[in-house]
Structure 1
């Protein structure tokens, strides 16, 4: 995806630019020196009321920093910004400062509704650390950031900012950020209103630029007292003085008036003095253009009908009347009003009545639409109540927004309109359907599809094809794999469209449906065939995604080596390079991590799960949610964080309950039951098992579909329960046979190996050692050949006697690859907390540098990012990690972090 495509239509570029510093009559040298003295702080706050000079001071410092060689980004926060829009402005402002910032993670952040914050920030920080210069991100009007998500994003950003990156904010209110922590770290610098007030010398400098040569030093002193150093108050006084022309009379008239040091006093002064000083035509002109947050001469001419708009703007700008030119490269200068003056003009505009105001907003909307500035066009059309124009604009933008993954914004726009207005708009409704299904609005999706089917246009072949795909996608969201096959199978025999999006959708849906019916080869062939039909110029990343989907099919079949052969290129070329959307990543990241886990590549699985695991929360298809949460719980368990693993599985169960997806509930109960067995949580074990049995009774007759996994899981749990309870060999073997039949019908190869190991354990417990070990030896070879290296270890302590005996007789590399994974010295096997987080002291004291590296590792940084933060090479980072692991007695990342936290080596 191109860098501009990700932000297309979302960003108003004039918000990335400050006012022109050339219009600042006072150079705030003292304040600039104070800011320079603390320029190394993580956060600098400039606090003060409207009109106190915050923005102009920031603009001056921006220029000064840039001249000193720093990279300086700028954006103005808006009152209606949400967290995804703030992230878009943050990225685009940095790119406007000539920083090479990737936008792929921003697309994920947008599509996920802000859920993928960690991966977004990790990518952003990686890009920022590539720059050797000091970087300053200036956010003006931070007081608009009342949304909790925005504050969370900024707090998280401050937590991970490298030393050379600094956040600078102008705000009327003290922000609800974690300022105490920054103060303790001496990473906060502040200027407040007492600092921003003009002193007498600055007042004199300001006055001397206003073309009032007759003012004496005493007059200037009195102006300073009347304004109490408030820049906006002084500006208003001088405007009135220029208009009145009689200096002494002016001061006599203001002798008994309150000082203009409060916003209320300023507003009153504007209404009673400034309005009287403007001629009717100028005031009318200003009120009309105040309907827009930004404007240029062409727009002003449209709004006012005055062909002299350009000259009027120049004149008002020359009178210093709160008109701020925005520093952009556009030929036609953009302006905005100072917030105080804008509020005053709005109050005057209200006197015209709502009809007149709506007419102005409608004109603004149509002008912005003509400039293809759709966000602003929709805003003013909405404010004008021009619903017909809104429908036209949404229709014009809907397909582009779907392609860019701007699903939530499309839903928000449509929500502003009565559904009847776009009932006949097939394009809107189709794209809205993709947005609804992608964002989990399932009831709205079903209602929308029913409405689409009554439209006459739906019968055209291409539209019918897309509708069928949407219906199949709806089945996928409901875990109805049989429904998917019923819809997709006939489509496979029909003529195929050339649309790459539709082709990729049908192939992935076919794979899903066939996989759950145990027809893995058919599903993989559907992927291969349909990707042959894609245009030759398709992006290479589509092929990697296709390979990853094939890999997920091999994983379900238990063929881990084949799965990794297809998933690793996806990881290296797509995931780590940020070239995939959250819908794809959310559905595949769990499979990738699970395959790495089963092959005992725990560090890689853990790092990917921590970095991209939040994408699972953005995924809407049950398979992606299920694999993502299950692997997260497995990794937590193997790291000794049993309670965290239980909580993760309980969260999976909650999602299943909310979505009414019984398969997710069943898998959660099965994994909770297994964890309870291996950790001897006897009370919860029986309750969990009883609930799983009850759930399985509803689906006893289902076969060759996703739901058929539920009775399979119950059969597996029953077999494991009898094995742990040391039931009679006959009962155990009978239940193992039943479970094995379920797994065979669904083609679950790794589970069949697990049940084979369980049969060997039963035989061993029954005194049939030779028969047990011979069968187990064959299973070891099969497991190694498939790459299912952790199946034996994951059985827990009941596998230890078998593993010990096998270890004493097996010498082949294949057998050792499986047996070396089994920890036989912990009380709970693979999930033994004592093995990973015991009370033993580290063998040696870690060096300061080793502690630093571990601390950064705990924040989720890669070796490359740690190297940038600590100014060392990635190779040196890995060397320090190797030493730290050895001193901690740890074998992999999560184990090392668990022990380091236990011993209070890192926070």
Structure 2
């Protein structure tokens, strides 16, 4: 069976199939086609004027890829909105482009909306064929953040992309500038109204009613061309003999007409169909098994087919006629009828719908129906099951809306309330989190001192420690940590096993890694936090491992390579066991960076090669394979192997002609380095100028330092001394506040010369205020480190106590040549397993624990070449 999430997704992004015997509306179809010359078409009219039908009719008649998204109230979650939009686009573009878009969707919870949109727009710019993007029912969106993000997208749409939006109301953001530039097309109520000719054709072809010219004129006048009213009249006329009396019988506004006509239609239906329609009206989406559950029958499929054959406002949602929905107006009428005539049945039907949907795995809908049924105990049960999935998807707005829907008269369990508080902290709603935590603490005070109480109290301490940390109150954080040491931590793994890194090469670039911020307090907090988790049995939890890896990367930046070395072995083992690429790849890159500092370039390549073999097993492997290849390019550049770097970056399809986006920053920073070594400074600087505002917006300190350093080096390289000094001062200002060292040392001789120039120029202008923010001691310290050896000496006082045999000598020679285990096995005609055994014995004889140390030890041995 398909996953239920995929069923729900497909129904929202599947182009509705036009109903049979539709009246062709060429004038409107042509209007939409004409609008493709611009970037935006707006179809705006009240309910029942055929907006959806028109757009689906147009999409099926044009030879143009169309992405379709049907919106509803739940899409007011900005993550959900753009995730669905990306999936709609992905299925309408070539597979390679679609794959890139889906990777973007997966990265959404960790990217800002603007950065995500930059990346999505970049993918749209890469398309060679025109595409139409259709958003239906935009009036259901009330989230200002979504309005702002969509307006931003429209502003930067490529010429190949045209956006079509249908809504019952005017768009809540200004599009006047696009109208002034003739980039906006609009179809309104007057244009959507049926003309007399279309009305006559409608009744002749679809209803079989023989109406006179006078009847048609009267209908057009009274309905104002409102398509739903005309359709309702057609259904009612089936049982009428006196057309004149019936047509003249109703008048008033659209709401009155619809209520009157719906009553007319419903009162003439067989009782079984009437009951089926009313009971299933609670469902936003209809499927036979769910209809059976709600109606407590077994003929759901037959009834759906009957309703469809009677043309009773049933709209298919997929290509297989499995999923449907009622026309919005019809659904509203039926629901109002059910609530008014049988409120108990309304609650009962929603409760049964909730249970049926949960059994199918459609938990979002199940929770919504439990809330509609006012069965908050059921809602609580489903919410507890569904929270991990929602957190993984990053749909925090939807999750919080569910919590907010619980009335004060119902008390959530303390455990679920605590999770609510935790989510408020994660979403930076700190005052609300404080209120929620205080309430839970009061509840906890009144509980008996049992295991349940202790566990809840520990959870409160854990969440409150996160709250005070988010508030920046490090002193209070230390206090709470000491209290946590006296208690058990919460048992629920949801607190510990978020995947904090879906795409970054280093954990320090993530929010958990504080985006590059390094202070003694952050080190102390990180060390204490991991110590607490270790002491309470959470040593293998993701949050613990990610914090340790962030510490490890911090030690590398601070040039505390010994401390970095100490953390890496346990992190390597844990990363392999967890099989989490967001942890494993940063560990490998950190290992390789240490090899580079020590001068072991081949060992760094070995780490990359081993990681590439493993990365092929990861979900969404493309992003991690590319990350490792980009790091390999950086190794090539340190080795001055420009030709290999050029070939590899070309194979990755990364070009300076494309507008860089934040989610691909690592790639474009790598490209800028390559361009710099090719003496193409203008191209490299243009990339950096485009990337820098994005890093400033994300407040990514480590990236800002790298960009400013590269800008300074490139400007110095092309002789722009003053500009180079300005940029290096920017980098030093951030670097000194955070104690950065390796960001400067790793740039090598060119950076040493630049820092020397900076120091000398500054000494000559000591009174200048432009040097504010950087002490004289900081660049002096960096220059001193440049003059010292950055490779830790590995002194050995003796040769191996036990002589090496021939196989071990051959292994050591192959290690020095940089061969992998697999290559050594082939060279020696052995299995990889046997090679690993021999290597273990070799390391023992050499009194070393790694390939790097073995290479260092081999320098003292006289091996036959």
Tell me which interval the TM-score lies in, with the shorter structure as reference length.
0.5 to 0.7
User: For 1:57, which of 46, 54, 57 is the aligned residue?
Assistant: 54
The 1:631–1:23 alpha-carbon spacing in structure 2 relative to 1, beyond 3 Å, is same
Map of 2:350 onto structure 1? 361
CA contact (8 A) 1:586 1:617 kept: no
Map of 1:733 onto structure 2? none
CA contact (8 A) 2:50 2:227 kept: yes
Q: How far 1:285 moved relative to its partner?
A: 2.4
> Aligned partners of 2:595, 2:148: CA distance in 1, in Å?
39
Matches within 5 A, 1:127-206: 127-206=123-202
Task: Give the secondary structure class of the aligned counterpart of 1:153.
Answer: helix
Matches within 5 A, 1:414-453: 414=403, 416=405, 421-424=412-415, 433=422, 438-440=426-428, 444=433
Task: Give the secondary structure class of the aligned counterpart of 1:523.
Answer: helix
Map of 2:67 onto structure 1? 73
TM-score by length of 2: 0.62
Does 2:79 align with 1:84?
yes
Does 2:367 align with 1:325?
no
Map of 1:305 onto structure 2? 296
The 1:538–1:353 alpha-carbon spacing in structure 2 relative to 1, beyond 3 Å, is same
Q: How far 1:72 moved relative to its partner?
A: 1.0
Q: Which digits, 9 at most, give the CA deviation of each residue in 1:346-384, with x for residues without a partner?
A: 221221454432221111111111111121112112222
Map of 1:530 onto structure 2? 571
> Aligned partners of 1:570, 1:508: CA distance in 2, in Å?
17
Matches within 5 A, 1:769-784: 784=748
User: For 2:330, which of 331, 341, 358 is the aligned residue?
Assistant: 341
Task: Give the secondary structure class of the aligned counterpart of 1:195.
Answer: helix
The 1:234–1:793 alpha-carbon spacing in structure 2 relative to 1, beyond 3 Å, is farther
Matches within 5 A, 1:278-677: 278-326=269-317, 328-330=318-320, 333-352=322-341, 354-406=343-395, 409-410=398-399, 413-414=402-403, 416=405, 421-424=412-415, 433=422, 438-440=426-428, 444=433, 454-455=454-455, 479-488=521-530, 501=542, 504-511=545-552, 519-535=560-576, 538=579, 542-547=583-588, 572=630, 607=687, 610-611=690-691, 614=694, 626-627=701-702
> Aligned partners of 1:474, 1:53: CA distance in 2, in Å?
49
Map of 2:821 onto structure 1? none
Does 2:14 align with 1:17?
yes
Q: How far 1:416 moved relative to its partner?
A: 4.9
CA contact (8 A) 1:137 1:166 kept: yes
Q: How far 1:231 moved relative to its partner?
A: 0.9
> Aligned partners of 1:524, 1:414: CA distance in 2, in Å?
45
User: For 1:234, which of 204, 218, 230 is the aligned residue?
Assistant: 230
CA contact (8 A) 2:553 2:590 kept: no
The 1:398–1:213 alpha-carbon spacing in structure 2 relative to 1, beyond 3 Å, is closer
The 1:50–1:81 alpha-carbon spacing in structure 2 relative to 1, beyond 3 Å, is same
Task: Give the secondary structure class of the aligned counterpart of 2:41.
Answer: strand
Does 2:119 align with 1:123?
yes
Query: How many residues were matched structurally?
Result: 647
CA contact (8 A) 1:10 1:375 kept: no
The 1:87–1:503 alpha-carbon spacing in structure 2 relative to 1, beyond 3 Å, is same
The 1:11–1:545 alpha-carbon spacing in structure 2 relative to 1, beyond 3 Å, is farther
> Aligned partners of 1:507, 1:325: CA distance in 2, in Å?
51
Q: Which digits, 9 at most, give the CA deviation of each residue in 1:582-618, with x for residues without a partner?
A: xxx999979989x989x99897587468548657766
> Aligned partners of 1:11, 1:612: CA distance in 2, in Å?
39
The 1:551–1:535 alpha-carbon spacing in structure 2 relative to 1, beyond 3 Å, is closer
Map of 2:30 onto structure 1? 33
Most deviating of 386-395 and 296-305? 386-395
> Aligned partners of 2:593, 2:668: CA distance in 1, in Å?
6
Task: Give the secondary structure class of the aligned counterpart of 1:51.
Answer: coil
TM-score by length of 1: 0.59
The 1:491–1:223 alpha-carbon spacing in structure 2 relative to 1, beyond 3 Å, is closer
Task: Give the secondary structure class of the aligned counterpart of 1:291.
Answer: coil
Q: How far 1:253 moved relative to its partner?
A: 4.3
CA contact (8 A) 1:544 1:573 kept: no
> Aligned partners of 2:765, 2:218: CA distance in 1, in Å?
94
CA contact (8 A) 1:295 1:336 kept: yes
CA contact (8 A) 1:503 1:530 kept: no
User: For 1:94, which of 85, 89, 92 is the aligned residue?
Assistant: 89
> Aligned partners of 2:405, 2:689: CA distance in 1, in Å?
37
Does 2:305 align with 1:263?
no
Most deviating of 485-494 and 176-185? 485-494
Q: Which digits, 9 at most, give the CA deviation of each residue in 1:643-697, with x for residues without a partner?
A: xxxxxxxxxxxxxxxxxxxxxxxxxxxx99x88x99xxxxxxxxxxxxxxxxxxx
Most deviating of 250-259 and 790-799? 790-799
The 1:410–1:10 alpha-carbon spacing in structure 2 relative to 1, beyond 3 Å, is farther
Q: How far 1:91 moved relative to its partner?
A: 0.8
Q: How far 1:30 moved relative to its partner?
A: 2.7
Matches within 5 A, 1:689-768: none
Q: Which digits, 9 at most, give the CA deviation of each residue in 1:142-180, with x for residues without a partner?
A: 222332222222222222222221111222222134422
Aligned-pair Cα RMSD in Å: 5.4
The 1:236–1:442 alpha-carbon spacing in structure 2 relative to 1, beyond 3 Å, is closer
The 1:152–1:637 alpha-carbon spacing in structure 2 relative to 1, beyond 3 Å, is farther
CA contact (8 A) 1:236 1:274 kept: yes
Q: Which digits, 9 at most, give the CA deviation of each residue in 1:447-476, with x for residues without a partner?
A: 599989922999999959997999xx9998
CA contact (8 A) 2:403 2:420 kept: no
Task: Give the secondary structure class of the aligned counterpart of 1:120.
Answer: helix
Task: Give the secondary structure class of the aligned counterpart of 1:209.
Answer: helix
The 1:242–1:297 alpha-carbon spacing in structure 2 relative to 1, beyond 3 Å, is same
Map of 1:857 onto structure 2? none
The 1:30–1:409 alpha-carbon spacing in structure 2 relative to 1, beyond 3 Å, is closer
Does 2:107 align with 1:103?
no
CA contact (8 A) 2:705 2:743 kept: no
> Aligned partners of 1:574, 1:143: CA distance in 2, in Å?
49
Q: How far 1:140 moved relative to its partner?
A: 1.0
> Aligned partners of 1:317, 1:629: CA distance in 2, in Å?
60
Task: Give the secondary structure class of the aligned counterpart of 1:50.
Answer: coil
Q: How far 1:131 moved relative to its partner?
A: 3.7
CA contact (8 A) 1:271 1:344 kept: yes
The 1:94–1:110 alpha-carbon spacing in structure 2 relative to 1, beyond 3 Å, is same
The 1:203–1:294 alpha-carbon spacing in structure 2 relative to 1, beyond 3 Å, is same
Task: Give the secondary structure class of the aligned counterpart of 2:575.
Answer: coil
Q: How far 1:9 moved relative to its partner?
A: 7.6
Map of 2:619 onto structure 1? none
Task: Give the secondary structure class of the aligned counterpart of 1:189.
Answer: strand
Q: How far 1:517 moved relative to its partner?
A: 8.5
Gaps of 5+ in 1: 579-584, 619-623, 641-670, 679-708, 714-742, 754-781, 803-817, 819-907
